[in-house]
Structure 1
Amino acid sequence: MPSNAQWSGTASIKGSTESVRMALLTLSLVGLQFTWGTEMTYCTPYLLALGLTKSKLSLVWIAGPLSGLIMQPVVGILADRSKSRWGRRRPIMLGGTLVVSACLIVLGWTGEIVAMFVQEKELKREATIALAVGSIYVLDFAINAVQSSCRSLIVDTLPIPKQQLGSAWASRMVAIGQLVVYGAGAVDLKAIFGELLGDTQFKQLTVIAAVALLLAMGTTSWAVEERVLLSDGKELEGTTGAFSMVGQIFTTATHLPSRIRAICWIQFWAWIGWFPFLFYSSTWVGEIYIRFDAPQEVRDHPDTLGNIGRVGSQALIAFSVMTFIGSFVLPWIVQSPEDDEKPAFTPRPPASIAPFVTQVANNKPSLLTAWTVSHLVFTASMVFAPFVASLRSATLLVAFCGIFTFMGIEINNLGTSLPTRTSPSRKPTRSPNRRLSDDVELDTTTELVHLRRPSSESSPSSPGELAGIYLGILNLFTTLPQFIASGISTVVFSVLEPGKSPELAKDAHPDEHHSTDGLNGISVCLFVGALSSVVAAWATRRLKFVV
Structure 2
Amino acid sequence: MVAGGVQYGWALQLSLLTPYVQTLGLSHTMSSLMWLCGPLAGFIVQPCVGLYSDKCRSNLGRRRPFIIAGCLLICVAVVIIGFSSDIGYALGDTKEDCSVYHGARWKAALTFVGGFWVLDFANNAVQGPARALMADLSGRFGCNAANAIFATWMAIGNILGYSSGSTGEWHNWFPFLRTRACCDACANLKGAFLAAVIFLLISMTVTIILAKEVPLRSTPGKGEDQAAKFLDIFKSMKNLPPGMPTVLLITSLTWLSWFPFILFDTDWMGREVFHGDPKGTQAQIDAFDRGVRSGAFGLLLNAIVLCVGSFLVTPLCQKLTPRIVWVMSNFMVCVAMIATTIISEWSLDKYHGGRDSPFIGPDGNVKAVALFVFAALGFPMAVLFSVPFAVTASLAANQGGGQGLCTGVLNISIVIPQIVVALGAGPWDKVFDKGNTPAFALAAAIAFLSGVLGLFMLPKLSKSDFKSVGVGGGH
Answer whether TM exceeds 0.5 for this pair.
Answer: yes
Name the counterpart of 1:140: 120
Deviation at 1:365, TM superposition (A): 2.9
Q: For structure 2, which runs of at least 5 residues remain unmatched after alignment?
A: 96-100, 179-183, 348-365, 463-475
Within the candidate set 263, 269, 273, 1:279 is matched to 263
Name the counterpart of 1:167: 147
Work out the percentage of aligned pairs sharing the same amino acid. Answer: 24
Name the counterpart of 1:376: 331
- Hey, what's the Cα distance between the residues in 1 that align with 2:78 and 2:226? 33
Deviation at 1:62, TM superposition (A): 0.5
- Hey, what's the Cα distance between the residues in 1 that align with 2:461 and 2:141? 29
Partner of 2:217: helix, strand, or coil? strand
Deviation at 1:113, TM superposition (A): 1.4
* Paired residue type of 2:275: R
Name the counterpart of 1:527: 441
Q: 2:187 aligned with 1:205, yes or no?
A: no
- Hey, what's the Cα distance between the residues in 1 that align with 2:88 and 2:309? 45
Partner of 1:225: helix, strand, or coil? coil
With over 3 angstroms needed to count, the CA separation of the structure-2 counterparts of 1:130 and 1:406, relative to structure 1, is: same
Deviation at 1:240, TM superposition (A): 8.0
Deviation at 1:188, TM superposition (A): 2.6
Q: 2:466 aligned with 1:540, yes or no?
A: no
Q: Deviations over 1:327-384 (max 9, x none)?
A: 345545x262xxxxxxxxxxxxxxxxxxxxxxxxxxx533321221011101111023
Q: 2:256 aligned with 1:266, yes or no?
A: no
Q: Deviations over 1:253-308 (max 9, x none)?
A: 1221122222222211111112122121122112233318x9xxx96287666423
Partner of 1:291: helix, strand, or coil? coil
Q: 2:97 aligned with 1:117, yes or no?
A: no
Deviation at 1:234, TM superposition (A): 1.1
Q: Does the 8 Å CA contact 1:49/1:305 hold for their aligned counterparts?
A: no
Name the counterpart of 2:350: none
Q: Does the 8 Å CA contact 2:23/2:104 hold for their aligned counterparts?
A: no
With over 3 angstroms needed to count, the CA separation of the structure-2 counterparts of 1:204 and 1:303, relative to structure 1, is: farther
Name the counterpart of 1:91: 65
* Paired residue type of 2:174: G
Deviation at 1:190, TM superposition (A): 2.9
- Hey, what's the Cα distance between the residues in 2 that align with 1:414 and 1:311? 38
Q: 2:61 aligned with 1:77, yes or no?
A: no
Partner of 2:29: helix, strand, or coil? helix
| Pairs within 5 Å for 1:99-114 | 99-114=73-88
Q: Does the 8 Å CA contact 2:32/2:263 hold for their aligned counterparts?
A: no
- Hey, what's the Cα distance between the residues in 1 that align with 2:229 and 2:54? 13
Deviation at 1:55, TM superposition (A): 1.4
Q: 2:407 aligned with 1:492, yes or no?
A: no
With over 3 angstroms needed to count, the CA separation of the structure-2 counterparts of 1:211 and 1:301, relative to structure 1, is: farther
Deviation at 1:48, TM superposition (A): 0.7
* Greater helix share, structure number: 2
Q: For structure 1, which runs of at least 5 residues remain unmatched after alignment?
A: 1-26, 337-363, 420-438, 440-461, 498-518
- Hey, what's the Cα distance between the residues in 2 that align with 1:484 and 1:270? 13
TM-score by length of 2: 0.81
- Hey, what's the Cα distance between the residues in 1 that align with 2:403 and 2:214? 22
Q: Deviations over 1:93-140 (max 9, x none)?
A: 111111111111111111211222325679982211111111111111
TM-score by length of 1: 0.71
Within the candidate set 388, 393, 403, 2:379 is matched to 403
Partner of 2:239: helix, strand, or coil? coil
Q: 2:38 aligned with 1:55, yes or no?
A: no
Q: Deviations over 1:413-444 (max 9, x none)?
A: 9587554xxxxxxxxxxxxxxxxxxx9xxxxx
Name the counterpart of 1:350: none
- Hey, what's the Cα distance between the residues in 2 that align with 1:178 and 1:133? 23
Q: Does the 8 Å CA contact 2:275/2:284 hold for their aligned counterparts?
A: no
- Hey, what's the Cα distance between the residues in 2 that align with 1:49 and 1:411? 41
- Hey, what's the Cα distance between the residues in 2 that align with 1:308 and 1:207? 22
- Hey, what's the Cα distance between the residues in 2 that align with 1:413 and 1:372? 16
Q: Mean Cα displacement is larger for which, 61-70 or 246-255?
A: 246-255
Within the candidate set 188, 192, 216, 1:229 is matched to 216
Partner of 1:232: helix, strand, or coil? coil
Deviation at 1:194, TM superposition (A): 3.3
Q: Does the 8 Å CA contact 1:115/1:124 hold for their aligned counterparts?
A: no
Paired residues in the alignment total 422
* Paired residue type of 1:271: W
Q: 2:282 aligned with 1:327, yes or no?
A: no
How large is the RMSD of aligned CA atoms in angstroms?
2.9
- Hey, what's the Cα distance between the residues in 2 that align with 1:289 and 1:156? 46
* Paired residue type of 1:166: A
